[in-house]
Each structure stands twice: as C-alpha cells, then as structure tokens.
Amino acid sequence: MMFETFVLICSISNPNICHTLSDTYGPYDSKKQCIQRAYEIGEQLPNHMPNYVAVKYKCFETEELKGKVRT
C-alpha cells in the first residue's frame, strides 16, 4: 500500500471557508512519511497562503499505480 497526503486548511478571518490541499509529491511508502509530509505542508502554508491555517490532515491508503499517470 501507498499513502496520499491531504490537508484541510481554513481561512484565519473566516473559519467557515475551508479547502482541501492534495500533496503532489506523493504517494509515500509508509504512513509515517505521509504524516511527516502533512506537517511540512502545515509549516510551509504561511509562505504560500498567509491567510490560511492547516487544521487537519488525512493519509489515505492507495494502490500503487506503476507506469500509469494519476489524474
């Protein structure tokens, strides 16, 4: 199994406005790597989207897609 990272981010000024970020670097071989990436995204978020804060993350199990393009 491989793991894909998703991070829920919400607006600082209006917590009802939220978006889900999908990591483009993965998938990862282990859940630990996936979680580490989620924390990296949270740390880097202020540089890219200063009006948002990371609220939650989720690591989803996925089948490895050898030789195929993920869409």
pTM exceeds 0.85 for this model: no
Mean per-residue pLDDT of the chain: 89
What pLDDT is attached to residue 28? 94
Confidence of residue 26 (pLDDT cuts 50, 70, 90): confident
Q: b/e string for 19-53 if b means 16 or more Cβ within 10 A?
A: eebebeebbbeeeebbbebbeebbeebeeeeeebb
33-37, 40-44, 61-65, range with the lowest pLDDT: 61-65
- pLDDT score of 47 more than 90: yes
**Domain range summary for the chain, segments of one domain joined by +:** 2-62
